[in-house]
Amino acid sequence: MPASRTRHLCSVAAALVLSVAAVPAAAASTRTSPASASTTAAASQAGLREVLFVGNNWDGTADVLESSGDYTRIGRIDVVPDKAQRMAEINADPIKWIYFMVIRNSVGEGHDQFVDDMYSTPDGSSVVVSRPSFADVVSIDLATGRVNWRFKVAGYRADHMAVSPDGTRVAVSASTANTVHVLDIDSGRELGRFATGDKPHENIFTKDGKYLYNMSIGEVNTALDAPWLDWTKGDRHITVVDASTFRQVKIIDMRQRLDAIGLKDFSDAVRPAVFSPDESKLYFQVSFFNGFFEYDLATDRITRTKTLPKNPATGDDRTTFVNDSRHHGLSMRPDGSKLCVAGTMDDYATVVDRATLQEGPLVSASKPYWATVSGDGKDCVISESGSDQVTAIDFATGQKRLSVPVGDHPQRVRLGHVQDGWTGPTG
């Protein structure tokens, strides 16, 4: 089980620096070498190989695995090839250094955060990575391992991303600036940005690419976790914007929806979330809760609550839940029949029948931090950040199939593409 809060918090005062310090007015996109030209997602997929990218956050690497089957490792990418340059900049700027150290000693649990999220370009030539400790997004050439372009986010930390359905745009949360940037995936040019609630986190494009959802989670680095101190966590809500104009379409505040079903003591910080195939329902996790909710978009209300088993060894001390996330990771079988849940602090994952909300076997896992779907749609793939492996769970049976070792502290796992014959950078 995870260590106590004292292991991964610098101090309440240090964490508050992340919340209140001034944010730079602008962020710049700079190119360090020409980016490889890429096609759109609608272009021919000939010559491409589908893979899973596994971000090893504390390593600063990404493992590239077969997208299904036995998940054989094809290669590994260094996602911080410019580390010396970035560290020189940080060490030369006292404010950047303070933020860097706070990230290390709070959300990083004593480690630097070098890869939060990643997506490949449609032509499989590059991978785009958000790097929390360096407060940026970079494109890395998969053939040479070199940086194509770098975008410095507003504020001091980059977080979750999302890629548009056509693969041409990537959205990234700038968590200390309450901003989401939307970038051209080939050039790193900023196409637009929009304001969010406090500490933007998960991003989701609708399947038609028309709308972009952002979930803000508020302050997760203090020990002020009791329900009566919830007001200290900040403004948390879902921001929905037009993905072309980046203008706000609506705000969804789950506080009101939770209160309406008598759950006034539950956090309204929406964590990982997933739409049903027809996008009529949104399934989401919230801070501190061992379970998830079903939200009906048409009626604008929470329609079902699923409470999952607790691990007795975890206990109920909220201050021991890393970054407030008791459960963090949610995916859905492509046909919409099953959900897969990562019970992060409870050390298991489970497949849940969507119709009945009955969970299957509790598959033992060490601090599973994400859940995604295999390329063939048959497995739920979870990252076990506590044991440095990814594990495949059969959606049909709910049983574990296999585990594959990866790098230090795997978190996000994303489907993508590399070019045929690729086995790792050669530059």
User: Is 303 part of any domain?
Assistant: yes
Q: Which of 241, 302, 292 is nearest to 271 (CA)?
A: 292
Per the CB < 8 A criterion, the answer to whether 380 and 86 are in contact is no
Contact yes or no for 175/200 (Cβ under 8 A): yes
Q: Long-range contacts of range 43-50, CB-CB < 8 Å, 24 or more positions apart?
A: 43/122, 43/123, 45/417, 47/124, 47/419, 47/420, 48/123, 48/124, 48/417, 48/418, 48/419, 48/420, 49/74, 49/124, 49/417, 49/418, 49/419, 49/420, 49/422, 50/375, 50/415, 50/416, 50/417
- The Cβ-side half-sphere exposure at 372, using a 13 Å CA radius, reads 22
pLDDT in tens, 219-263: 998 899 999 999 999 999 999 999 999 999 999 999 999 999 999
* pLDDT tier, 181 (very low <50, low <70, confident <90, very high otherwise): very high
- Give the burial class of 276: count Cβ atoms within 10 A of its Cβ; 0-12 exposed, 13-18 middle, 19 or more buried: middle
Judge whether residue 144 has pLDDT over 80: yes
Strands (E), 268-329: 270-275, 281-286, 291-296, 301-307
What one-character DSSP code corresponds to residue 4?
A: P
pLDDT of residue 301: 97
Cβ proximity of 394 and 401 under 8 Å: yes
Name the residue type at position 339: L
* Domain-located, residue 424: no
Task: State how far the Cα of 33 lies from the Cα of 147, in Å rounded to an integer.
Answer: 7
Strand order in 158-163's β-sheet? 158-163, 169-174, 179-184, 190-195
Structural domain includes residue 426: no
* Assigned domain for 27 exists: no
State residue 153's pLDDT score: 98
Q: Which residues make beta-bridge pairs with 154?
A: none
**Amino acid occupying residue 367:** K
Structure confidence at residue 10 as a pLDDT band (50, 70, 90):
very low
Half-sphere exposure of 18 (CA within 13 A, CB side): 35
Mean pLDDT of 332-337: 98
In whole angstroms, what is the distance from residue 208 CA to residue 166 CA?
A: 9
Query: What per-residue confidence (pLDDT) applies to 221?
Result: 87
DSSP code, position 186: T
Q: Give the model's confidence band at 81: pLDDT under 50 very low, under 70 low, under 90 confident, else very high.
A: very high
- Measured in whole angstroms, the distance separating CA 208 from the mean position of its chain's CA atoms is 21
Q: CATH code at 51?
A: 2.130.10.10
Confidence of residue 66 (pLDDT cuts 50, 70, 90): very high
Q: How many domains does the chain have?
A: 1
CB 221 within 8 A of CB 323: yes
Within a domain: residue 425?
no
Is residue 45 very low, low, confident or very high in pLDDT (cuts 50, 70, 90)? low
Which three-class secondary structure state does DSSP give residue 375? coil
Look at residue 35 and tell me if it is in a domain: no
Q: Is 321 a domain residue?
A: yes
Map residue 113 onto helix, strand or coil: coil
Domain for residue 31, yes or no? no
Task: Supply the range of the domain harboring residue 172.
Answer: 5-20+45-419
3-state helix, strand, coil in the chain (%, to 5): 15, 40, 45
